[in-house]
Amino acid sequence: MLKKANSDLVRRQNRGLVLETLRQHGPLARITLGYQTGLSPASITSISGQLIDEGLVYSIIEDEEVSTQAKRGRPQTRLALNPQATNVLAISISVDGVELVFADFSGATREPIKLRLDTYATPKEDFGPRVAHEIKANAKRLGIALTSIKRIGVAVQGVADTISGEIPWSPAFCARDIPVVRPLERILSIPCSIGNNANMIAEALIATDRKKYGGTTAVVFLGHGVGLGLILNGVVFHGANGRAAELGHMNHIPDGPLCRCGRHGCLEAFSADYGIMRMANDRRGTDFDVHAAVRDDDMRKLELAAEAGDTVATNAFNRAGEVLGFGIARLIALINPQRVVLAGPGTRAYDLLKDSVGEALRRGLVHDLRKNVEFEVVPFGKDMIATGTLVETLRHLDRDVYATGQKGTVVEFSGRKIA
């Protein structure tokens, strides 16, 4: 029995690996697929045959010009995922906003749908049903049948409990313990999971380049908050129930400025967009509501003022970078990462932060602990949260749903029979 169980596990893992590889690299010849996955030709032949029978994969016969020698052999074919096999949905929740991204089985996405919701004032029991209603309406508008959506992945700013499916705390809500997974599953009859948005960025990086990011990498999110995704030995670390790696809510100065979490002196209270904006406004004697979303136009004006040499704006960014640098120094001392990756909308202003970040690292950490750590900044505008949420959601299908090998019917795709 144990031998059979082990064999089934290996089989499931290998099928999932083939599906993930085709999604990452696109159509591949069987020999290339074997090279990318490390599986034997016999395994590739067996698995690809099963996936074709189930309608998850189809063969593309090359029609381009080939050499005379190649013409004497068998026509070269490549394997590709069938985008019509299923659909998935990624949901990103932040202050006053919910974003929906629909994708097909190949990972190709529709245009993101940005919903403006007063998340902070929404009663916690109303939030899940409200999002479910928006999903139904937008799926219908796009011509996507709800029955074709096999899984939903949710990324949230704040703490996501992966066991209960709730949001214990988020700056997007006044309430605590907001139910998300259960109401979505009840109303839509679609399996759902939830995770922290920084962890989703980490998932996206692994999918982009597992060799580069697959060791020990710290992913720091900058923007409406300060988050952290940890990649340890190639796997995103969630902790016991998804609450690990809350870098932004590590205390920097007891009794410091108010954080959105309700405590005082958190790292985020200095280095998130609202922290930077508040430091600039406080110097001008202006009241500032930490729970309100910072408008991108206002943040951009502050960045331009700092770039032009405005002392108040420059000092706000310098202080934010200093606090961030000390936080990263503690992080490096704890986990010894190979790489620290900065991502999120806050990276647009990283040139205004980097000198003070670097100085804090030099002051806060002995040279031997930081000398081999590589720093990388993900370009502003790259939506890594949605990408990572879709990666994890599709992986669930690959490893849990489609790993068992349920034979399906042959379907038509782009005028060609998938067989």
Distant-in-sequence contacts of 18-24, Cβ < 8 A, 24+ apart: 18/44, 18/47, 18/48, 18/51, 19/51, 19/56, 19/57, 19/81, 19/398, 19/402, 20/394, 20/395, 20/398, 22/57, 22/79, 22/80, 22/81, 23/81, 23/106, 23/107, 23/394, 24/207
Are residues 284 and 343 located together in one domain of the fold?
Answer: yes
**Which of 190, 222, 239 represents a domain boundary (last residue)?**
190
pTM across the whole model: 0.84
- Smallest CA-to-CA distance from 319 within 288, 359, 287 is with 359
Q: Is residue 268 part of a domain?
A: yes
Are residues 346 and 280 located together in one domain of the fold?
Answer: yes
Q: Is residue 338 part of a domain?
A: yes
Are residues 274 and 367 located together in one domain of the fold?
Answer: yes
Are residues 29 and 45 located together in one domain of the fold?
Answer: yes
Are residues 258 and 336 located together in one domain of the fold?
Answer: yes
Residue 245 has what pLDDT?
86
Q: How far is CA 313 from CA 41, 225, 269, 299, 305, in A?
A: 61, 19, 16, 11, 6
35: helix, strand or coil: helix
Are residues 299 and 364 located together in one domain of the fold?
Answer: yes
Are residues 217 and 171 located together in one domain of the fold?
Answer: no
The answer to whether the CB of 193 falls within 8 A of the CB of 150 is no
Q: Is residue 382 part of a domain?
A: no
- Range of 22's domain? 2-81+405-417
**Which of 158, 190, 222 represents a domain boundary (last residue)?**
190
Residue 73 has what pLDDT?
57
Residue 232 has what pLDDT?
94
- Smallest CA-to-CA distance from 341 within 211, 231, 197, 210 is with 231
Q: Is residue 127 part of a domain?
A: yes
Output the tens digit of pLDDT for each of the chain's 419 residues: 445 556 778 888 899 899 989 998 889 999 999 999 999 999 999 999 999 999 999 998 865 444 444 555 566 789 999 999 999 999 999 888 899 999 999 999 999 999 988 888 899 999 999 999 999 999 999 999 999 999 999 999 888 999 999 999 998 898 999 999 999 999 999 999 999 999 999 999 998 888 899 899 999 999 989 999 999 998 999 888 878 888 999 999 998 999 988 899 999 999 999 999 999 987 554 567 888 888 899 999 999 999 999 999 999 999 999 999 999 999 999 999 999 999 999 999 999 999 999 999 999 999 999 999 999 999 876 778 999 999 999 988 888 778 776 544 333 333 333 33
**CATH number, position 299:** 3.30.420.40
Q: Is residue 255 part of a domain?
A: yes
Are residues 66 and 109 located together in one domain of the fold?
Answer: no
Are residues 70 and 90 located together in one domain of the fold?
Answer: no
Q: Is residue 206 part of a domain?
A: no
**CATH number, position 24:** 1.10.10.10
What type of residue sits at position 267?
A: L
405 C-beta neighbours (distance < 10 Å), count: 14
- Smallest CA-to-CA distance from 290 within 147, 133, 95, 79 is with 95
Residue 63 has what pLDDT?
56
Count structural domains, the chain.
Answer: 3
Are residues 105 and 254 located together in one domain of the fold?
Answer: no
Q: Is residue 207 part of a domain?
A: no
Contacts of 108 (CB under 8 A, 6+ apart): 83
- State how far the Cα of 234 lies from the Cα of 150, in Å rounded to an integer: 26
Residue 9 has what pLDDT?
80
Are residues 225 and 322 located together in one domain of the fold?
Answer: yes
Q: Is residue 195 part of a domain?
A: no
Residue 301 has what pLDDT?
96
Are residues 71 and 117 located together in one domain of the fold?
Answer: no
Residue 120 has what pLDDT?
87
